[in-house]
């Protein structure tokens, strides 16, 4: 993204053992309506350490609250998207319980964000990293990326990430992949529903930009309502569901957004909410 600016009000990064400020592990930049959140702890394979979790949560909230942001892209530096929880920290029971409390909040922030979230993976995702990929609305990976639910192989359960993963995966592959812990490639991830596209590494940024551009053309309120619609499980008879959806449709047709979108279509111009690029 060009002309990107890093947001102010960055989260507290904590301190190193000698009392100096720790370097940030997550960055947020906003340009042309796109918020790019970058995991930047390559030496730790972008593992979900306490500092990284804290900064990621803060930047996600900032992006959601920023009216200038229309789409959020979650990406990374280094060869690995995210290796999951920081197992060095998980050796202590206190830090483990803290991570268990914090990580679901991050997944929920991504899942319930009224703004679409796109995962960009140039490298592998494991365990909790796969949970974040599943929480995103769309995911694009280089065809060299790989995935694995490694929890059972170290004696733990992929319990938390199952909340976001299971709605994405086909049932048979879900049983296979979560029970065996087998590593699978990006093509298989696309086949089973975990990601939307597996593309050559050199095409990754263009494909992410293509999705972000398409998403930014959607009306903010309509996108938020559609995301909520996609999250909800039908719990009423079909006749009642149709009545509810008719009411939802009518509200948005009559809304300011809906009327502006219809006018823009008729006048063959971009709608007012489409970001302009200087």
The C-alpha atoms of residue 274 and residue 223 are separated, in whole angstroms, by 13
User: Which pLDDT score, from 0 to 100, does residue 87 have?
Assistant: 78
- Distances from the Cα of 261 to the Cα of 116, 193, 230, 252, 270, angstroms: 19, 31, 21, 10, 8
> Annotated catalytic residue: which of 6, 29, 94, 151?
151
What is the pTM assigned to this prediction? 0.86
CB 42 within 8 A of CB 4: no
Burial of 26: CB neighbours in 10 Å, binned 0-12, 13-18, 19+: buried
Handedness of CA 122, 126, 129, 134 (dihedral sign): positive
Site of tokens 């990430």: 161
CA distance 50 to 58: 12
CB 273 within 8 A of CB 219: yes
Residue 99 C-alpha from the chain's centroid: 18
DSSP state letter for 220: H
As a CATH number, domain 5-216 is: 3.90.226.10
Exposure of 23 by Cβ count < 10 A (0-12 exposed, 13-18 middle, 19+ buried)? Answer: exposed
The neighbour count for residue 272, using CB atoms within 10 Å, is: 12
Q: In this predicted structure, what is the pLDDT of residue 195?
A: 98
Nearest-Å Rg of the Cα atoms of the chain is: 20
The string of DSSP codes covering 31-76 is ETTEEEEEE--GGGTT-B-HHHHHHHHHHHHHHHH-TT--EEEEEE
Q: Where are the domains of the chain?
A: 5-216, 220-266
CA atoms of 94 and 35, how far apart (whole Å): 33
Residue 151 is a catalytic residue: yes
Show pLDDT as tens, one digit a residue, over the chain (278 residues): 333 445 544 566 665 555 556 899 999 999 999 999 999 999 999 999 999 999 999 999 999 999 999 999 999 999 999 999 887 776 654 444 555 578 999 999 999 999 999 999 999 999 999 999 999 999 999 999 999 999 998 888 899 899 999 999 999 999 999 999 999 999 999 999 999 999 999 999 999 999 999 999 999 999 999 999 998 776 777 677 667 767 877 788 788 988 888 888 889 999 999 888 76
Question: CA end-to-end span of the chain, whole Å?
Answer: 12
**Dihedrals phi, psi of 32, to nearest 5 degrees:** 50, 40
């Amino acid at each position: 993204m060009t002309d990107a600016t890093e947001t102010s009000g960055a989260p507290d990064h904590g301190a190193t053992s000698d009392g100096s400020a720790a370097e940030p592990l997550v960055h947020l930049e906003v340009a042309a309506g796109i918020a790019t959140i970058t995991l930047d702890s390559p030496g730790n394979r972008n593992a979900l350490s306490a500092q990284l979790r804290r900064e990621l949560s803060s930047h996600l909230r900032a992006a959601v609250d920023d009216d200038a942001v229309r789409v959020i892209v979650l990406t990374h530096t280094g060869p690995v998207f995210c290796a999951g929880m920081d197992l060095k920290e998980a050796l202590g029971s206190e830090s483990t319980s803290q991570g268990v409390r914090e990580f679901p909040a991050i997944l929920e922030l991504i899942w319930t964000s009224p703004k679409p979230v796109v995962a960009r993976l140039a490298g592998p995702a494991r365990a909790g990293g796969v949970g974040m990929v599943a929480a995103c609305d769309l995911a694009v990976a280089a065809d060299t990326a790989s995935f694995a639910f490694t929890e059972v192989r170290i004696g733990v359960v992929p319990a938390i990430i199952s909340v976001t993963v299971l709605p994405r995966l086909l049932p048979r592959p879900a049983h296979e992949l979560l029970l065996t812990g087998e590593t699978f490639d990006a093509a298989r991830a696309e086949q089973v529903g975990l990601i939307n596209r597996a593309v050559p590494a050199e095409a990754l940024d263009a494909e992410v930009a293509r999705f972000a551009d398409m998403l930014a053309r959607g009306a903010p309120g309509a996108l938020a309502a559609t995301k909520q619609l996609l999250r909800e499980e039908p719990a009423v008879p079909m006749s009642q569901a149709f009545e509810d959806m008719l009411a939802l449709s009518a509200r948005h047709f009559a809304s300011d957004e809906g009327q502006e979108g219809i006018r823009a279509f008729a006048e063959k111009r971009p709608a007012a909410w489409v970001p302009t690029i200087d």
